[in-house]
């Protein structure tokens, strides 16, 4: 027995939901592509969310320096290049300190990690200018710029003092960026020390703290 369904009218499918779905898929793929193409990786930590921690994958990173940048670098003396350079710098300064009758620098054996607030190449350049003779005033400035051992109980106070001196040389209306270079062996407490240091001044914005890990071979 046949059934009669009447006239079957052809209906076109709704195009609006289809277009919406296509656009959502495009947005999804573009966002994923942008995330995957980022050159840096994120380090998860217990620090506040407004601190940017970037780990470039390229070893031996050399940051461009400008007048608005403050550079801190944590030196691991288990890395041969750091140990050799810092030993040579200390010996040259120590020779001048004896001639100027000044107290000696701390022995490098007191700590594995040393926080440098002045690049080592800048210290080496200043020492080259003293080869003709030790000028006690310049030697005292070198002592004030010599790296601080991480085991120093007054580490935070000394870093704060050096940071204040550096910020005093910069214009008040200029945004200052703090760049920190760390070896992969750096203890986590260093990040907390640096964050507390930034909170001690209103010249640095936590959003402009850039922590970069360097891949170096120990030995």
Tens digits of residue pLDDT in 5-38: 555 555 666 767 767 676 677 776 666 654 444 4
Question: Which residues, 6+ apart, have CB-to-CB distance to 50 below 8 Å?
Answer: 206, 207
Other beta carbons less than 10 A from residue 175's beta carbon:
12
Q: Is residue 4 part of a domain?
A: no
Grouping H, G, I as helix, E, B as strand and the rest as coil, residue 109 is helix
Q: Express each pLDDT in 167-206 by its tens digit.
A: 888 777 777 778 888 888 888 888 788 878 877 877 776 6
Q: Is residue 52 part of a domain?
A: yes
User: How far, rounded to the nearest angstrom, does the alpha carbon of residue 116 sit from its chain's CA centroid?
Assistant: 12
Q: Which domain holds residue 46?
A: 40-214
Q: Is residue 209 part of a domain?
A: yes
Q: Is residue 72 part of a domain?
A: yes
Tell me the torsion sign for CA atoms 185, 191, 192, 197.
positive
Task: Name the DSSP class of 169.
Answer: T
Q: Is residue 157 part of a domain?
A: yes
Question: Which residues, 6+ apart, have CB-to-CB distance to 79 below 8 Å?
Answer: 183, 216, 217, 218, 219
DSSP assignments along 56-99, one per residue: ESSSS--PPP-TTEEEEEEEETTSHHHHHHHHHHHHHHHHHHHH
Q: Is residue 28 part of a domain?
A: no
Q: Is residue 7 part of a domain?
A: no
What whole-number distance in Å separates Cα of residue 45 and Cα of residue 181? Answer: 17
How many structural domains does the chain have?
1
- pLDDT recorded at residue 37: 46
Q: Express each pLDDT in 106-151 by its tens digit.
A: 999 999 999 999 989 989 998 888 877 888 888 999 999 999 999 8
Q: Is residue 196 part of a domain?
A: yes
């Amino acid at each position: 027995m046949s059934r009669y369904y009447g006239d079957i009218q052809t209906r076109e499918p709704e195009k609006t939901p289809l277009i919406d779905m296509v656009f959502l898929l495009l947005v999804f793929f573009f966002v994923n592509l942008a995330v995957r193409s980022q050159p840096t990786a994120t380090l998860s930590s217990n620090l506040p969310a407004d601190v940017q921690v970037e780990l470039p994958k390229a070893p031996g990173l050399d940051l461009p320096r400008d007048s608005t940048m403050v550079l801190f670098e944590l030196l691991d003396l288990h890395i041969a290049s750091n140990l050799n350079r810092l030993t040579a710098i200390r010996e040259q300064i120590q020779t001048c300190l004896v001639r100027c009758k000044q107290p000696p620098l701390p022995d490098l054996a007191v700590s594995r990690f040393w926080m440098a607030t002045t690049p080592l190449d800048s210290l080496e350049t200043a020492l080259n200018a003293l080869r003709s003779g030790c000028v006690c005033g310049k030697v005292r400035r070198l002592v004030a710029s010599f790296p601080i051992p991480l085991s120093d109980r007054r580490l935070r106070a000394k870093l704060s003092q050096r940071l204040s001196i550096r910020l005093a040389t910069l214009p008040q209306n200029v945004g200052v960026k703090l760049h920190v270079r760390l070896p992969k062996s750096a203890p986590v407490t260093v990040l907390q020390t640096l964050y507390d240091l930034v909170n001690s001044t209103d010249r640095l914005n936590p959003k402009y703290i850039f922590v970069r890990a360097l891949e170096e071979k120990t030995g």
